[in-house]
Amino acid sequence: MIDLICGARPNFMKIDPLVRAARFPYRIVHTGQHYDYAMSGSFFDQLGLPRPDVSLGCGGGSITSQTARIMEAYEPVLLKGNPSVVVVVGDVNSTLACALTAVRHGIPVVHLEAGLRSFDRTMPEEINRLLTDQIAELLLITSAEAEDNLLAEGRPRNAISMVGNTMIDTLLRLLPETDDIPVPHGEFALVTLHRPGNVDTPSKLERILSALERVEMPLVFPAHPRTLRNLAEWGLSGKMPRNLTLLPPQDYLSFIALQKKAAVVITDSGGVQEETSVMGVPCVTVRPNTERPVTCELGTNVLCPEPEGIPDAVKERLSARKAVLPEIPYWDGQAGQRAADAVLGYLEGVMR
């Protein structure tokens, strides 16, 4: 039996294809890192994921306190279930917390979406990625540069397996279901911002709002709960751009529908960079770096290090829209099956 760990919004789309292809007993452990319906519960409904076998209820708190609480809550669950392998996904706090807990009890860890690097250690996600990859026994990667990163860090080649991008499996499977979901009429830009570097400093967030007002089209902004809280706390709600419509967090299908119909997406999300590259929607990433460089090389994505550059970056992306996008290798809707095969092969080796 293996434990499949999920806790935050991006995890659900990535774990779903592995669950669908699994030919081994498993239990889904939901840490509760994201806990409201739009950020968590709706994903089980819309993706058709089985309900979690275990819910730890560890939402909220600082990065440090949340990581510690997840470790403390997962430990008795781990010991009671005694899984042969623990599979963690992505780069959220739940990923590192459960990986550390498993390794401390001698249980091997598989990291799905290993090897991604922004080379920016001020990002909490980068620290989670680096540490998880150093303690995982099997590293399942989405793109070729991830293998280069892992080898450079001293991980053995035989621990690395190219499976592709399971989140794209979910996108391709459910994209047809978004056709009838209503979206704003006419041309609009979709905005999604949640990184601490962008939304946890009043002056930076105000600079972003000022830049967004200079984008020459209507903006639709489904705001992350933390972003909404900061806007209210710092009195910025009254400084919202006149061309911007603020929305609450969206469920998965509604957000995909907005992405699909947007003229351009302005984001700081890693997953959105990937989804827009597959859908052919121009993307401006408001960050100085990305752990997904393939989206800049083969997709629609461009980095925008400073908020003041957003309007020009939007214009550039719209004018550079590609009629036909090159396919990104292994982002073909079959990554879940390859990941399941790799986990099963590893599981059989562990139990032999």
Q: Which residues are catalytic?
A: 194
220 pairs with which residues across the strands? 190, 245
Cα 157 → chain centroid: 25
Q: Answer yes or no: are the C-beta atoms of 92 and 33 closer than 8 Å.
A: yes
Alpha-carbon gap, residue 99 to 85, rounded angstroms: 10
Burial label for 145, CB within 10 Å (0-12, 13-18, 19+), is middle
Counting other chains too, the contacts that 290-293 makes at CB distance below 8 Å and 24 or more residues apart are: 290/118, 291/91, 291/116, 291/117, 291/118, 291/125, 291/126, 291/129, 292/116, 292/143, 293/145
CA distance 125 to 122: 9
- CA 311 – CA 287 distance, rounded (Å): 14
State the residue for tokens 């911002």: 193
Helix/strand/coil (H/E/C) assignment for every residue in 293-334: CHHHHCCCEEECCCHHHHHHHHHHHHHCCCCCCCCCCCCCCC
| Contact criterion met (CB below 8 Å) for 283 and 299 | yes
Partnered with residue 247 across adjacent β-strands are: 222
